[in-house]
Structure 1
Amino acid sequence: MAFENLSERLQKALKNLTGKGKISEADINDASREIRLALLEADVNFKVVKDFIKKIKKEALGKEVQESLNPGQQIIKIVDDELTKMMGEEAVSLNKSQHIPTIIMMVGLQGTGKTTTVGKLANYLMKNEKARPLLIAGDIYRPAAIDQLKQIGQQLNVPVYSEDNQDVAEIVKHGLEEADKNKNDYVLIDTAGRLEIDEQLMDELKRVTAVAHPDNTLLVVDAMTGQAATQVAEGFNNDLDLTGIILTKLDGDTRGGAALSIRAVTGLPIIFTGQGEKLTDLSTFHPDRMASRILGMGDMLTLIEKAQQDYDAKEAEKMAEKMRENTFDFNDFIDQMDQVQKMGPLDQIIKMIPGLGNNPALKNIQIPEKQISHIKAIVYSMTPEERENPDILNPSRRRRIAAGSGRSIAEVNRMIKQFKQSKEMMQKMTKGDMGEFANLPGMNSPMGKMAMRSMNKRFKKNKKKRMKKIKRYRSK
């Protein structure tokens, strides 16, 4: 998982400070040394690490302790702030043209997942901006690159422009004419890559740039290449004036050096990250949230946004009403399971909850697809009456359900017990009793408490926007 090694090392380095009433210069030097080693092992650029440690020590030694925090927590806050600054402080949006279409040119070396990322970005724009994009197949060298883009276009129901032509600039020119004719509001240009930067590649990309005048030139970089990613970014930026970075394969990078170095070295913002193979696996990069996750403080804002995106608002309201009225049944249980599956793997969701990310008992928790299929088989073996009224499930009915689903009676009993426990906990949360959540392992830890303070601060900052969204929803 992304940043896993770095996250563990940093938290270990800071853990010794959290319980102290007073921190000496020696304590700060010890923690700084551990943080420096953790960053270097994560393949973060040496100069970036040097500057980072210098800033932390200066802040830690010269800053008065805030009343609400003990000295150890103050150091954690300083590290959190400096990590955020290193990665860019705030999320950066795409440049939008004043006239349609907004043109996005995607560049990068071979093997970075560029063509797939074109599809992911098209899907993101359709979902978040109701966009009507056109994809232009500008990679005429890699075997099957055009076919791959066409397949992605079919999956998304998005048009793909291609030609049997060896002049990429001409293909792009004709593709833009097609977009103008069809009033597409976004054009995404997939370009060719190489194993390394060469003069021929750059000349071709410059000619495409001269024809397209892109509003965004985005470099797609493999996060797993570490420090090499910053060198690639500098190489492309020297010739093309990049506007931003998309980091792919972040889920496979346990170190995180590319994400931490690239903004500080190149000055280019990371705009999106790819974490997975699906066309839905593209996320806006939020430096402050990423810093919180690295330090084990969770990322509740992203978790809430994922829930808002993947949950149907009307269904969620209906479910909450059922909880209040105590009419939640097995049909609803299956619906809820499907909704949670849409949000992604359970271990990734848990990492976003403050204090739980590195809890040993929850670290690698997963629900295998096979287990979900078994639960569904048990529910589907029930009669409509049994699904709607779980209280009538006596021993003889349970034996029949076990035989019908091909599962053991013990498994059926366990699933019914889990359903009842889930129902009780969700009822408490619906009624506003957050005691269960507040007592989860790690929530009362310094990291957990700081995460909740940070989340509350951000929530207040965006309160007006949320209230407007709620009013819009209720007026429908």
Structure 2
Amino acid sequence: MFDNLTERLTQTLRSVTGQAKLTEDNIKGTLREVRMALLEADVALPVVKAFINSVKERAVGQEVSKSLSPGQVFVKIVNEELVKVMGEANAELDLATQPPAVLMMAGLQGAGKTTSVAKLARYLKERKKKKVLVVSADIYRPAAIRQLETLAGEVGVEFFPSTAEQDPVDIAEAAIQHARIKAFDILIVDTAGRLHVDEDMMQEIKRLHASVKPVETLFVVDSMTGQDAANTARAFNEVLPLTGVILTKTDGDARGGAALSVRHITGKPIKFLGVGEKTDALEPFHPDRVASRILGMGDVLSLIEEAEHKIDKAKAEKFAKKITKGKGFDLEDFREQIQQMHNMGGMMSMLEKLPGMGQMVQAAQAAQAEKGIQQMVTIINSMTPHERRNPDVISGSRKRRIAMGSGTQIQDVNRLLKQHKQMAKMMKKFGSKSGMAKLARGMKGMMPPGMGGGGGFPRF
């Protein structure tokens, strides 16, 4: 998300960062570029106007003129105003109520509502340690009921059964009763969606809301609809007391206009971002971190949190002990490290969150790099356990067999073995006393071409 906006804004702001003095003229030119970048990102016009006015007011005031580095202060102002537009701080779910806390999901058909119910259930179960029950009140689409039942099984939460013959209010009230009896902390109610906002839909959801009295009413909206997402959220908010928004499909949205428009237009905070198809692809929305990412400053905090939740700690500790004892780094270890990186969304997802890496990600040709990493796993899987533990035994005839088994060329196998040898050398240095300094130097050589290194990752 924000790829296009990040590229435009970082180029625009670079021209003003080094300015010894900011004048009305050079601010005017920069703000014009910023305005165009926001409009191209499909940010709603009222939001763009308010944002530009706020930045201009602060930039031409005392705040900048008294600074020793006006250009950098200008970038800081843009960053702070972006945070303000998106809602200042992360708005957590309000779960402080007598259990079960009822969460109701609303939205149009196709926005990813049912999938978001499963993602949120998993998030609450794994991160907040809550006992979660889910129910579908979408009586118009029996397939949606079956879908939620399947997803509930996948994420390990209980599903309360319902049928298309029942009334949505009866379904929800029965689920609440069951949740009370079985001591569930949270009940998530999935509601019916429509292809557009219509009166019947609104009356039904108002009736359902009045009956279940949810502590959170979350509007699920497709970020790829741009400023229409914010307008739809406003239409819902006029008839339903929304408490927050979940933006879905943000991994496919290179513009990011919805994220910058929703809060300003609806007055409701974005609480979560859907960042992929998998059930763990849901992130709490932190305006400060997102603003930092937009301006190419990275998002290291989110990267650390992701690592804490998605890296297998037991395996990581076992690997660390093995390396520090100098026991070597074989191809099974190499494969394990690639899999851990894949669990965190892949190399490109990680690089996007590192400061200054925004533009380099494109230079590294994301899709091809990911394809290359998956190919490496396929090659390693085509080896015998003995070959993986003892790469030195892989002769010419073995290489031919491995290449045939993995559907690759012998040069691909050679490239992988060379990569592994480089990594093994780095790990050996890591095990020594001066390991960290040497490891840092070694890492530079392992970086993909165009990212400050000699080209360790394969070029496909």
Scaled by the length of structure 2, the TM-score of the pair is 0.88
Query: Structure 1 26/428 Cα, relative in aligned 2: closer, same or farther at 3 Å?
Result: farther
What are the Cα deviations for residues 371-412 of structure 1, in whole angstroms up to 9, with x where unaligned? 53554444652453x53444x447xx3532432452544322
**Corresponding position of 1:470:** none
**Corresponding position of 1:233:** 233
Query: Structure 1 54/368 Cα, relative in aligned 2: closer, same or farther at 3 Å?
Result: closer
Query: Structure 1 409/194 Cα, relative in aligned 2: closer, same or farther at 3 Å?
Result: closer
**Corresponding position of 1:467:** none
Question: Is residue 2:170 matched to residue 1:170?
Answer: yes
Query: Structure 1 409/363 Cα, relative in aligned 2: closer, same or farther at 3 Å?
Result: closer
CA distance in 2, matches of 1:162, 1:12: 53
Instruction: Give the count of matched residue pairs.
Output: 438
**Corresponding position of 1:113:** 112
**Corresponding position of 2:334:** 333
Q: CA deviation at 1:11?
A: 1.2
Query: Structure 1 76/389 Cα, relative in aligned 2: closer, same or farther at 3 Å?
Result: same
Q: CA deviation at 1:154?
A: 2.2
Partner SS for 2:220: strand
Query: Structure 1 21/237 Cα, relative in aligned 2: closer, same or farther at 3 Å?
Result: same
Partner SS for 1:129: coil
Matched-pair contact (CA < 8 Å) for 2:108–2:196? yes
**Corresponding position of 1:273:** 273
Question: Is residue 2:90 matched to residue 1:91?
Answer: yes
CA distance in 2, matches of 1:108, 1:64: 42
Matched-pair contact (CA < 8 Å) for 1:298–1:353? yes
Query: Structure 1 92/366 Cα, relative in aligned 2: closer, same or farther at 3 Å?
Result: farther
Partner SS for 1:187: strand
Quick one: percent identity of the two aligned structures? 44
**Corresponding position of 1:432:** 436
Query: Structure 1 246/263 Cα, relative in aligned 2: closer, same or farther at 3 Å?
Result: same
| Worse-superposed segment, 104-113 or 358-367 | 358-367
Matched-pair contact (CA < 8 Å) for 1:270–1:285? yes
CA distance in 1, matches of 2:309, 2:156: 20
CA distance in 1, matches of 2:335, 2:213: 49
Matched-pair contact (CA < 8 Å) for 2:22–2:65? no
| Worse-superposed segment, 103-112 or 323-332 | 323-332
Matched-pair contact (CA < 8 Å) for 1:331–1:388? yes
**Corresponding position of 2:79:** 80
Structure 2 residue ranges without an equivalent (≥5): 453-460
Matched-pair contact (CA < 8 Å) for 2:108–2:195? yes
Query: Structure 1 32/442 Cα, relative in aligned 2: closer, same or farther at 3 Å?
Result: farther
**Corresponding position of 1:364:** 366
| Worse-superposed segment, 280-289 or 143-152 | 143-152
What are the Cα deviations for residues 334-365 of structure 1, in whole angstroms up to 9, with x where unaligned? 11111111111322221111111112422525
Partner SS for 1:219: strand
Q: Quick one: which amino acid aligns to residue 172 of structure 2? A: V
CA RMSD of aligned residues (A): 2.5
| Worse-superposed segment, 312-321 or 144-153 | 312-321
Q: CA deviation at 1:111?
A: 1.3
Matched-pair contact (CA < 8 Å) for 1:107–1:217? yes
Q: CA deviation at 1:206?
A: 1.7
Q: CA deviation at 1:323?
A: 3.0
**Corresponding position of 1:354:** 355
Query: Structure 1 229/378 Cα, relative in aligned 2: closer, same or farther at 3 Å?
Result: closer
Query: Structure 1 424/76 Cα, relative in aligned 2: closer, same or farther at 3 Å?
Result: farther
**Corresponding position of 1:344:** 345
CA distance in 2, matches of 1:199, 1:429: 65
**Corresponding position of 1:123:** 122
Matched-pair contact (CA < 8 Å) for 1:109–1:197? yes
Q: Quick one: which amino acid aligns to residue 317 of structure 1? A: E
CA distance in 1, matches of 2:139, 2:201: 12
CA distance in 1, matches of 2:331, 2:143: 46
CA distance in 1, matches of 2:318, 2:374: 23
**Corresponding position of 1:50:** 49
CA distance in 2, matches of 1:193, 1:174: 21
Matched-pair contact (CA < 8 Å) for 1:347–1:363? no
Question: Is residue 2:198 matched to residue 1:198?
Answer: yes
Matched-pair contact (CA < 8 Å) for 2:273–2:282? yes
Q: CA deviation at 1:137?
A: 1.1
CA distance in 1, matches of 2:305, 2:384: 35
Matched-pair contact (CA < 8 Å) for 1:56–1:82? yes
Matched-pair contact (CA < 8 Å) for 1:346–1:366? no
Matched-pair contact (CA < 8 Å) for 2:95–2:215? yes
Q: CA deviation at 1:24?
A: 2.5
**Corresponding position of 2:421:** 420
Q: CA deviation at 1:30?
A: 0.7
Matched-pair contact (CA < 8 Å) for 1:334–1:376? no
Matched-pair contact (CA < 8 Å) for 1:249–1:276? yes
**Corresponding position of 1:24:** 23
Matched-pair contact (CA < 8 Å) for 1:102–1:185? yes
**Corresponding position of 2:305:** 305
**Corresponding position of 2:457:** none
CA distance in 2, matches of 1:370, 1:328: 21
Question: Is residue 2:410 matched to residue 1:400?
Answer: no
Matched-pair contact (CA < 8 Å) for 1:132–1:186? yes
Matched-pair contact (CA < 8 Å) for 2:90–2:287? yes
What are the Cα deviations for residues 138-172 of structure 1, in whole angstroms up to 9, with x where unaligned? 00012511111111122223222233334111111
CA distance in 1, matches of 2:44, 2:427: 46
Matched-pair contact (CA < 8 Å) for 1:354–1:442? no
Matched-pair contact (CA < 8 Å) for 1:330–1:379? no
